[in-house]
Structure 1
């Protein structure tokens, strides 16, 4: 099992970083290895990734998701299998520490690239850098999904608390 841990600091609030991360369809806009992402269900996505002439399609299941905190997933394919987790933590004023842990079990021809020393780490580091540039450039998320997933089961997003309304008195 090849394990990679990378962390990057991003100059946006936690909610902004988390909300943009949950917009999987936008990943091809800033990640060079991600060619397409389709949201099949709230907890299942289909990914097409590729480097050069090598492309691969797989499904991933989100097994844990807590708004503004973390997203954990596992591939539903056997070759190569992988699982990962991305966590979000507030740091300095208005910034976020994004940490990604990826575990890849190399199998078959498709997994051969994952055993090249340092290659997976370099790709993960570069793609996190692209995410940082993208979200800092936008300054706000292009959408959000605020639901929770526990052990692969989706729980609906909780309603935002109502904003208190300040009475408006007519001026006579």
Structure 2
């Protein structure tokens, strides 16, 4: 398993940085190699990526989401990976975004790229693009303030989401 850890400081309040990050379908605007992200519901995402000429499709599930604090995920098929993004307020107008994930490079190209740090460089570049994206806009493109708890309840596979009002997250729809 390869591990990637990168951080970036953005000059926006923590809520603005977090709100934008929850707009998963906007990821292709600042993430290299991400062709599309389709949010199927509050916690399920379908990804299409193209790296080194190879197109991949896979699904992920958001396992934890705490407004202004963290978003965690796991893959459910395809590329094996899991990670967390945390948001740390450094002041009223500055936020540190920390990204950490582990993934299992599959092809020879992925393994070689990971060995030489291409995945770290890509994430660093993506975070720099996110910084430019959110700072240049002046506001986020949307927000989903729902909460997802990864602790499975009786009979549940991934736990239930509860939004800021305390109702089931499905009552408000997806975070797009």
1:131–1:26: structure 2 CA closer, same or farther, 3 Å change rule? same
Q: Which runs of 5+ in 1 are unaligned?
A: 161-172
Q: 8 Å contact 1:80–1:110 — kept in the other structure?
A: no
Matches within 5 A, 1:124-135: 124-135=123-134
Q: With structure 1 as the length reference, what TM-score do the two structures score?
A: 0.85
Q: With structure 2 as the length reference, what TM-score do the two structures score?
A: 0.83
Give yes or no for the alignment of 1:59 onto 2:59.
Answer: yes
Q: Which runs of 5+ in 2 are unaligned?
A: 151-157, 167-176
What residue is the counterpart of 2:50 in the other structure? 50
Aligned-CA RMSD value:
1.8
Equivalent-residue separation in structure 1 for 2:114 and 2:13 (angstroms): 35
What residue is the counterpart of 1:32 in the other structure? 32
Matches within 5 A, 1:130-169: 130-151=129-150, 152-159=158-165
SS at 2:160 equivalent: strand
Q: 8 Å contact 1:35–1:48 — kept in the other structure?
A: yes
Equivalent-residue separation in structure 1 for 2:109 and 2:143 (angstroms): 32
Q: 8 Å contact 1:28–1:35 — kept in the other structure?
A: yes
1:154–1:143: structure 2 CA closer, same or farther, 3 Å change rule? farther
Equivalent-residue separation in structure 1 for 2:161 and 2:60 (angstroms): 18
Q: 8 Å contact 2:43–2:62 — kept in the other structure?
A: yes
What per-residue deviation string (whole Å, max 9, x for no partner) do you get for residues 128-150 of structure 1? 11111100011111111111111
